[in-house]
Amino acid sequence: MSLLLATYRTATALAAPLIAQHLRGRLKRGKEDAARFAERLGQPGRERPDGPLAWVHAASVGESLTMMPLIEALTARHPGLNVLVTSGTVTSAGLLAERLPPGTLHQYVPVDRTPYVTAFLDHWRPDLALWAESEFWPNLLTLTEARGIPMALINGRVSPESFAKWRRWPGLARTLIGCFRLCLAQAERDAERLRALGAKNVVAAGNLKFAVPPLPAADEAVAELDGALDGRPRWLAASTHPGEEEMIWAAHAIAAERHPGLITIIVPRHPERGPAVAAELEALGATVARRGAGQPIAAGTQVYVADTIGEMGLFFRTAPVSFMGKSLVDLGGQNPIEPARLGSAILFGPHMWNFPDVTDELVAADAAETVENPAELGARVAALLADEDLRKSRAERALACADAHAAVLGHVLGHLEPMIADALRAGAAP
């Protein structure tokens, strides 16, 4: 065990009262599920089913959506394989409850303290662990690996910022990433960084986000929202983060000069921010309606804050132009493949380092556009709303980019099959 890992384990043991206090605070703020809070402490909410069990871990909503095609394929191809999915947020749990295949189990991932992780592993005894993207919790990884449970990193990515941080602790990075017997990276640049950090069996298998089907929306809901908008020009700011809403409002003011009656739909990445976002915009002079509060879109509404869960497919279908949030602030951007699948012309800010290969491909194909600031955003929204042919051609090229990666799920499954076969044999053994 490396010195840093030993220090981490000691710190998480000694910090038990502080961790408990932090969790109570999250519980009060609605960031934890009160009815299932014990799961975060490693206490099971379900019985373990008999037979082989694959544990799929996805941190939050984005990772959960990414892993869904893989989960569906595993359950369809291997009916005898039980699948347990863990995630760490209330929003992801709600999404998974709606979309997981029948018979698939969900639990909240335990907080990364040794007794919680040990209790979780004692109960579930997984025969295989599939880890999404970049969730490198030291106790969860090393305690799982110590039991001889085969682990694979799925859709692995390492951002430049994360890579620089891990390089400061090469021993710890090598220990954690070395827990994975197989690392399937999103792209070659991620594969190179994983190898540099100590991963041994690394393959650039492609980005599994391309395998995610279009986000769903009921036809009735689309028709209802379209009727409420009453033919007004509209655009969407999707998955925004603190600091962006003020910039979105500035862009709205610019675009509205060319498009009277313009309505801007803002979907905060975290719906619980809805009231604060509405209050901030109203203080800036905007007339706001909030979907989470059931407020209707009136003739004078300028901004519609859509602070709900699981409706992004509805808004991408309704908005002819979509700006991807988390990209005007330096946080790495949100997934542009989602609007690409739903016919909405795509804009994003300069900070898209969470999706570098997808971003580069879309821009190179003239299927999306980068804006540097609110003024550029407002100008490009206005231009796209005024040019239907440009919007349609952008949307068609974006869909073609997405469709070009249709084989990625098959690639991932092909690389995983030997580990899955081993898990099935191990789980079937007496």
Angle between helices 388-403 and 374-386 (to 10 degrees): 100
> How far is CA 259 from each of CA 74, 125, 244, 253, 410, rounded to the nearest angstrom?
48, 59, 22, 10, 45
User: What distance in Å separates the CA atoms of residue 275 and residue 281, rounded to the nearest whole number?
Assistant: 10
User: What distance in Å separates the CA atoms of residue 419 and residue 292, rounded to the nearest whole number?
Assistant: 44
Do 341 and 399 meet the contact criterion of CB atoms below 8 Å apart? yes
Quick check: helix, strand or coil at residue 56? strand
Alpha helices of 53-146 — where are they, by DSSP H?
61-77, 90-99, 114-124, 138-146
User: What distance in Å separates the CA atoms of residue 271 and residue 264, rounded to the nearest whole number?
Assistant: 17
User: What distance in Å separates the CA atoms of residue 142 and residue 223, rounded to the nearest whole number?
Assistant: 50
Is 63 among the residues known to form the active site? yes
Which of the residues 32, 39, 47, 63 is marked catalytic?
63
Do 142 and 175 meet the contact criterion of CB atoms below 8 Å apart? yes
Alpha-carbon Rg for the chain in angstroms: 22
Which residue type occupies 363?
Answer: V
Distance from the first to the final alpha carbon of the chain: 32
Quick check: helix, strand or coil at residue 60? coil
Report the C-alpha dihedral over residues 94, 239, 326, 69, rounded to 10 degrees.
Answer: 50
Cα–Cα–Cα angle for 237, 404, 64, nearest 5°?
50
Of the CA atoms within 13 Å of residue 237, those in its CB half-sphere come to: 32
User: What distance in Å separates the CA atoms of residue 53 and residue 316, rounded to the nearest whole number?
Assistant: 36
The phi, psi pair for 86, rounded to 5°, reads: -115, 150
Dihedral sign for Cα 236, 90, 183, 209, please: negative
Which residue do the tokens 């037979």 mark?
51
Tokens of 55: 């544990």
User: What distance in Å separates the CA atoms of residue 288 and residue 36, rounded to the nearest whole number?
Assistant: 35
Q: Which helix (H) or strand (E) is 279 found in, with range?
A: helix 274-283
Catalytic residues: 63
